[in-house]
A and B are shown apart, each in its own frame.
Chain A
Amino acid sequence: MTLTALIGISAVVFALVHFSRGSSDDRPAQASQPAPVRLSPFASAAPASTNSVAAAQPTAFSRAERPEADDESPAMRERQSEADADPADVPTDPTDFPTYDESAVRLGDEHEIPADKSGLTEANARAAALREVDIATPASFSLLEQTLRSDPTARNRLLAVKSLRLLGKQADNAERARQALRLAMSDADQNVSANARDAYDELTR
Chain B
Amino acid sequence: MNRYVALAVAAAVTVASSATATDFGNRHHRPKLDFGQRVEELTRESSRELFGTLGEVGESSTKSISATKAEKNPEALLTVAPGLRVRVLSADASLAPNIDQMFLWPNAKHPTHIIACNEQGSGQVAVQRVDVKSGKAETIISSGLTSCDPARLTPWGTVVVGEENGVNGRIFEILDPIHTSNVTVPASGFGPSSDPAHVVARPALGQFSFEGIGILPNGVVYLTDENRPGTGGIGNPGGALVKFIPTQLWAAGRAPITSLDQSPWTGGSIFGFRAGRNSGNTDVGQGNEYGRGVWVAVTGTAPINLRAAASALKLTAYYRPEDMSVDQEALGDGDVRFCGTNTGQDIPADVDPNGDNKWGEVYCVTDGTIAEASSIAVLNGINIASIPEYHPLVLGTSLFGMPDNIDIQPGTGNFLVDEDGEGALHATPHNNDIWACLDDGDDADTLTDGCIRVMSLNDLTAEPTGGFFDGKGEHYYVSIQHNITGHGVILDVSGWR
Contacts and interface: CB of A to CB of B under 8 A. Distances in A.
A112 B163 CA distance: 12
Contact of B484 (A54, A57, A59, A158): A158
Given A119-B230, A158-B461, A102 B168 contact: no
B377 interface: yes
B460 A154 contact: yes
Contacts of A86: none
A93 B280 contact: yes
Contacts of A52: 204, 267-270, 299-302
B239 A162 contact: no
B308 interface: yes
Given A92-B279, A100-B298, A198-B66, A55 B247 contact: yes
Interface stretch (A4-12, A13-21, A60-68, A172-180): A60-68
Contacts of A132: 121
Interface residues of B, number: 80
A140 interface: no
B277 interface: yes
A195 interface: yes
A66 to B, nearest CB: 6
A90 B227 contact: no
A190 B335 CA distance: 52
Main secondary structure of the interface of B (DSSP, over half): loop
Contacts of A159: 461
Contact of B64 (A92, A98, A166, A191): A191
Interface string A14-51: 00000000000000000000000000011000001111
A199 interface: yes
Interface stretch (B20-28, B78-86, B380-388): B380-388
Interface in B155-171: 164-168
A155 B305 contact: no
B281 A68 contact: yes
Majority SS at the chain A contact face: loop
A1 interface: no
- Range for the number of chain A residues in contact with chain B: 35 or more
B313 A97 contact: yes
A91 B280 contact: yes
Contacts of A198: 66-69
Contacts of A55: 247, 269, 376
Interface in A98-131: 98-102, 104-105, 107-116, 118-119, 121, 123-124, 131
Contacts of A98: 312-314
A13 B268 CA distance: 75
B305 A107 contact: yes
Nearest to B280: A68
A72 interface: yes
B228 to A, nearest CB: 4
Interface in A118-177: 118-119, 121, 123-124, 131-132, 135, 153-155, 158-159, 162, 165-166
A53 interface: yes
B300 A100 contact: yes
B339 interface: no
Contact of A107 (B63, B167, B429): B167
A99 B64 contact: no
Contacts of A91: 280, 282
Contacts of A158: 64, 460-461, 484
B456 interface: no
A201 B345 CA distance: 38
A90 B232 contact: no
Interface string B218-251: 0000000011101110000001000000010000
A188 to B, nearest CB: 13
B482 interface: yes
Closest 3 CB pairs of A and B: A198-B66, A68-B280, A155-B424
Given A53-B297, A70-B279, A100-B312, 7 more contacts: A51-B299, A72-B279, A93-B280, A115-B228, A118-B228, A119-B230, A166-B486
Interface of B: 62-69, 121, 147, 164-168, 204, 207, 209, 226-228, 230-232, 239, 247, 267-270, 277-282, 284, 294, 296-305, 307-309, 312-314, 320, 345, 347, 352, 354, 376-385, 387, 420, 422, 424-425, 429, 460-461, 482, 484, 486
